[in-house]
Amino acid sequence: QQQVKQSPQSLIVQKGGISIINCAYENTAFDYFPWYQQFPGKGPALLIAIRPDVSEKKEGRFTISFNKSAKQFSLHIMDSQPGDSATYFCAASITSYDKVIFGPGTSLSVIP
Amino acid sequence: DADVTQTPRNRITKTGKRIMLECSQTKGHDRMYWYRQDPGLGLQLIYYSFDVKDINKGEISDGYSVSRQAQAKFSLSLESAIPNQTALYFCATSDANQPQHFGDGTRLSIL
């Protein structure tokens, strides 16, 4: 049973467009929701993270939207660039427990 | 130099062989983790350690063992490798309640 669901599995966006990746979770004890970005041949790297006491967090072109009642959160990449082409993982954890549960990942391709 | 170093980066071996994957870090973090990545499944936690004398099983520990030789070193062993353990393996480190930092992975193929 997947504790963190993620969609779509793959995504193709034109340069300058908006990329949207959606995630959902079941465990209401989760209190930390990071997104990781992974380039081929590299390990995942933290991109942006949010806690459930806020509904949105923005860092540059990357925004997390969080809906606590629906137990859903999403990553929006504005003005998508070819350099954003990577695999993106949403994740969730219980801070005091310190184990991160990852979604299955979304492969993003930004085409010129 | 990378903060989290995994060796080897690639390994091909045969069914039944004993394999050891090594991870070392220069970040000074107490917590270290081993994950397995398979296409469409994301990363699954194999084992984790919160300090040198602490070892904990993750979601998929069967068929694996670990050793925390020092604060900076955490190794993963496959005692008798089988083909369905073919995957990409990642080591990560963190401080308490802080984001995890990943190495660049070991691609393991078991024939």
Per-residue pLDDT tens for A19-59? Answer: 999 999 999 999 999 999 999 999 999 999 999 899 999 99
Q: Tens of pLDDT along A61-110?
A: 999 999 999 999 999 999 999 999 999 999 999 876 668 899 999 999 99
The percent helix, strand, coil of chain A (3-state, each to 5) is 5, 55, 40
- CA A43 to chain B, closest CA, distance in angstroms equals 4
C-alpha distances out from residue A77 to A39, A52, A88, A102, B80, Å: 16, 20, 11, 19, 44
What CA–CA distance (Å, rounded) separates A95 from A49?
12
- Interface subset of A 78-97, CB within 8 angstroms of B: 89, 95-96
Closest residue in chain B to residue A97, using alpha carbons only = B97
Model pLDDT, residue B97? 77
Contacts of B90 in chain A (CB under 8 A): 43-44
Q: Which residues of B touch A43 (CB under 8 A)?
A: 4, 90, 92, 102-105
**Which of A25, A95, A99 to mutate to test binding with chain B, by most B CBs within 10 Å of its CB?**
A99
More confident residue, B86 or A100: B86
- State which residue of chain B sits closest to A44, comparing Cα positions: B102
Tokens in use for B40? 């469409």
Map residue B96 onto helix, strand or coil: coil
Rounded to the nearest angstrom, the gap between the alpha carbon of residue A20 and the centroid of all alpha carbons in its chain is 9
B84 contact A CB<8A: no
pLDDT score at A78: 98
Helix (H) or strand (E) segment spanning residue B101: strand B101-102
pLDDT tens track for B48-79: 999 998 999 999 999 999 999 999 999 999 99
